[in-house]
Structure 1
């Protein structure tokens, strides 16, 4: 991982932190469990013709910060986050967000949409890939498993599903809500090419995606910590609570001092 990318990732995390502080909104935990994945995809993996679907719409802030890091959104754009008539609502929607193909936020829709894109690309003879970032909680939706079954049957090797497995959802731990703390064996049983990796390690993400496909959709289980680096790291509170000024200052100091690792 280059020093330039390390600095870019750290600065984007700081901007994401500020984004949520200024908007005084929650859901920061799920943003900080997937920011490395989003930044790695957009800066180190995806090519110009590849497609991206953010299924876990709660992490809109991380997507917006990533687009800001690419120069696709301005500071002025970010300052309107969650405001009335904003280009950047709390869940991605609308037609003005660069690269946004679908409105998301109602969880469980992304895998089906991404599967459709991958199938359409094959029918058109196109060789681009489709990436979809999901949460582990939304895999309690039947539509996700239907999409996976269809994608495997169609052998959509141009489809890559990334699941942010931070183990927490709106009402508790996934292990307590539906007796599942690791989706890896369940997805492997469906016949997907599945691998669990450290979701906070950009090099591990790049390496996993670069591995040659074996003819079926690839599923990367990103082993992550919700709210990583924040005062409520690994706690349910990170799903809802906004930052106080003291918590913001402490988190920003940590990011500036320790970098991204």
Structure 2
């Protein structure tokens, strides 16, 4: 159970992930703001408390793994890694630029702290299942955390992976679905209605939970519950808002990939800093 001090710390971490991501977007002039911001709270809980990781030894065999099949979350993951101390914050200013070590989608061969190369939607699910299976066969206590996008769930490969994960009893695999209700071309309900995401995973033999994806305490408690489940993988469906933290992006009709002017960057950062001040009260 998290105490009030830790809850505040994780809330601040989430806001700082958004701030540092926004600086990178503003410097670049565009980026996947919506999906990066909607997953920031979960990244704060994972890197700020839950995951067994060591920035000084990023390849430790005892570490927990994070695999983001949702490739567009890359900028938020980079911000979390930099804030955690994997590399200097100023490296974030190279996001998506020529010669960068921070490409649009995560690449383990380029970025310190990234466990798996992903970005072709759906494929990260199979990779995560393979990693979790390998750890289980090696009798390791590592957890594998998988981030999926809600639009990404339209990929059949995810359900092939889900089927095998349950068959293999991978209770060391915990997946998150960033259910922000939108994908590249619009709202999910208009493109391919998702119905009950947790219901689908349950029918595939997973333990499923639906939670507020912007409440760090709820995210933490859901992970703790998932860890208590034995013999099956777990999924946590995060009820989120695409672009969370920046009102302009939250309400924009198209907020998957947006242009970001210097003025917009400053506006967003000012808004986020006010949220930091509120957390400190």
TM-superposed CA distance for 1:177, in Å, is 0.8
Following the alignment from structure 1 to structure 2, what is the Cα–Cα distance between the partners of residues 99 and 54? 12
Which residue of the other structure, out of 5, 21, 24, is the alignment partner of 1:16?
Answer: 21
Other structure's SS at 1:95 match: coil
Other structure's SS at 1:239 match: coil
CA contact (8 A) 1:51 1:131 kept: yes
Other structure's SS at 2:31 match: coil
Following the alignment from structure 2 to structure 1, what is the Cα–Cα distance between the partners of residues 235 and 13? 26
What does the per-residue CA deviation read over 1:193-222, in whole Å, with 9 as the maximum and x for residues that have no partner?
000111111111110111111420000001
Following the alignment from structure 2 to structure 1, what is the Cα–Cα distance between the partners of residues 34 and 207? 28
Following the alignment from structure 1 to structure 2, what is the Cα–Cα distance between the partners of residues 217 and 4? 29
What does the per-residue CA deviation read over 1:38-87, in whole Å, with 9 as the maximum and x for residues that have no partner?
12111111113211101111111000000011011213311211110111
Q: Which residue of 2 aligns with 1:255?
A: 272
Following the alignment from structure 1 to structure 2, what is the Cα–Cα distance between the partners of residues 232 and 128? 36
Following the alignment from structure 1 to structure 2, what is the Cα–Cα distance between the partners of residues 236 and 181? 22
Q: Label 1:191 to 1:228 Cα distance change in 2 as closer, same or farther (>3 A).
A: same
Report the TM-score, using the length of structure 2 for normalisation. 0.88
Following the alignment from structure 2 to structure 1, what is the Cα–Cα distance between the partners of residues 253 and 163? 31
Deviates more, 1:136-145 or 1:249-258: 249-258
TM-superposed CA distance for 1:96, in Å, is 3.2
Other structure's SS at 1:238 match: coil
Deviates more, 1:174-183 or 1:187-196: 174-183
Any gaps of 5 or more consecutive residues in structure 2?
A: 54-62
What does the per-residue CA deviation read over 1:87-130, in whole Å, with 9 as the maximum and x for residues that have no partner?
11111125131222322111001111010011111111111111
Q: Which residue of 2 aligns with 1:27?
A: 32
The count of aligned residue pairs is 261
TM-superposed CA distance for 1:257, in Å, is 1.1
Report the TM-score, using the length of structure 1 for normalisation. 0.94
Deviates more, 1:141-150 or 1:228-237: 228-237
Q: Which residue of 2 aligns with 1:55?
A: 69
Q: Which residue of 2 aligns with 1:96?
A: 110
Which residue of the other structure, out of 116, 140, 145, is the alignment partner of 2:159?
Answer: 145
Following the alignment from structure 1 to structure 2, what is the Cα–Cα distance between the partners of residues 176 and 134? 20
Alignment of 1:1-261 (within 5 A): 1-2=4-5, 3-48=8-53, 49-180=63-194, 182-211=196-225, 212-230=228-246, 231-259=248-276
Any gaps of 5 or more consecutive residues in structure 1?
A: none
Following the alignment from structure 1 to structure 2, what is the Cα–Cα distance between the partners of residues 179 and 140? 10
What does the per-residue CA deviation read over 1:101-160, in whole Å, with 9 as the maximum and x for residues that have no partner?
322111001111010011111111111111011101111000000000000011110000
Following the alignment from structure 1 to structure 2, what is the Cα–Cα distance between the partners of residues 251 and 133? 25
Following the alignment from structure 2 to structure 1, what is the Cα–Cα distance between the partners of residues 175 and 13? 24
CA contact (8 A) 1:55 1:132 kept: yes
Other structure's SS at 1:221 match: strand
